[in-house]
Amino acid sequence: MKQKQPVRWIVAASVIIPFLLGGCVTKSRFETQLAETQSLSEQLQNQTRKRAMLEEELAKLNRKLKITKSNLSDARQAAADQETILGNRIGVLEEQLALSKDVGSKTEKQLKNKMIKLKGTYETDLRKKNLEIASLEAELAERVQAHLALQDLLSERDAELANISRILDKVRDRFQVTQTEAAQRERELQESNKARRDLVNRLQKEISEGSIKISQIRDRLTVEIVDKILFASGSSDVTNKGKAVLSKVSAVLKGVKENDIRIEGHTDNVPIGPRIKEKFPTNWELSTSRATHVVRFLTEQGVDPNNLIAIGLSQYRPVASNLTDEGKQRNRRIEIVLFPRDIQKIASFADPS
């Protein structure tokens, strides 16, 4: 029976090193996947060795079974031959006995004794042969039973091997995603770091004025822009000054290929006034509309729309207290966030089909 060969893993250093240094896919997760793969490979090898030993044992049993069948056949044939020979000899003696009746009682008596002795020898030999045949039949039945038990054990071993192979295939697929994700995360992190440096260089004036804040926590880069730079009060249309700032931002974001870009609209907790309530019933509509307008402008500037996400978060993600005017001003903002792609996209990179 054809068996799958044990799978051996060779993990390229060019994938492992960025994975461990990037900090985006945890080292423990990678090591867990690697350990699970190695453990399953070892189990598969052990089960394959055990199956080979069972097959060898089965082959030995088959040879013994063949010998036992041959011995049994020979014993049965020998018994039949002996019975034939003895039958012939008894027949001859019976003929001689019939003739001896005419010759004399002494000869008849001798022939009768000879026949009785011959029959006794025959019955003794026949019992021995029958015992030998019974012993061989019992041995044959025992070996047939052992043969069937070994075949059942081999079937169980085959099922176990197939199950381990299936699990190993699944772990291998997950392991491939882990490696692909590690490489992807490293590319995302490098891209995010470059974007931060470029944005800082292009927006130094706005950063120094405090109207733009750039922060990065591990694999997430956030550009926080206060709303007064981008929008007039109560409006979601981007102002000329806002377009100038977003043009600088878009020049950097056009180079983003590995990360997703989320444009988040935020407001303070002041309810919408009657002047614009018909257009924006709540802060949800205002925050979402502002995010959408920024996305549309960035797209017009050449930023890949496949990487852009517009989302309105209303007043529910404040970065400062709404109890002060200064806090409210900080909460009225647009955030441009670069963040890693989700695992579904990572998996699609590993298997384009």
Locate the domains of the chain by residue range. 13-187, 203-340
Chain segment 189-198, per-residue pLDDT in tens: 888 888 888 8
The pLDDT confidence band at residue 287, using thresholds 50, 70 and 90, is very high
Token pair recorded at residue 77: 């044939």
pLDDT surpassing 60 at residue 277? yes
CA distance 231 to 211: 13
* Weakest mean pLDDT among 86-100, 238-252, 263-277: 86-100
Which residues share a beta bridge with 264? 311, 335
Question: Looking at residue 66, what is its pLDDT?
Answer: 80
d(CA 165, CA 184): 28
- Can you state the angle between helices 240-253 and 283-300, rounded to 10 degrees? 60
| H helix or E strand, kind and range, residue 330 | helix 325-331
In CATH terms, 13-187 corresponds, of 1.10.287, 1.20.120, 1.10.10, 3.20.20, to: 1.10.287
The answer to whether residue 129 scores a pLDDT higher than 60 is yes
- Lateral strand order in the sheet of 308-312: 212-217, 220-226, 333-339, 260-266, 308-312
Task: Measure the N-to-C terminal CA separation of the chain; round to a whole number of Å.
Answer: 32
Q: Looking up tokens 């019976």, which residue turns up?
A: 94
- Write the DSSP symbol of residue 305: G
Q: Is the pLDDT of residue 30 over 80?
A: no
**Three-state DSSP class for residue 258:** coil
CATH of 203-340, one of 3.40.50.300, 3.40.50.1980, 3.30.1540.20, 3.30.1330.60: 3.30.1330.60
Closest CA to 68 of 148, 125, 132, 150: 132
Query: In this structure, are residues 212 and 252 in contact, taking their beta carbons and an 8 Å threshold?
Result: no
Please give the C-alpha separations between residue 24 and each of 98, 184, 223, 261, 350, in angstroms, as whole numbers: 111, 9, 20, 17, 17
Residue 323 has pLDDT above 70, yes or no: yes
Q: Which of 76, 77, 81, 78 has the alpha carbon at shortest distance from 134?
A: 76
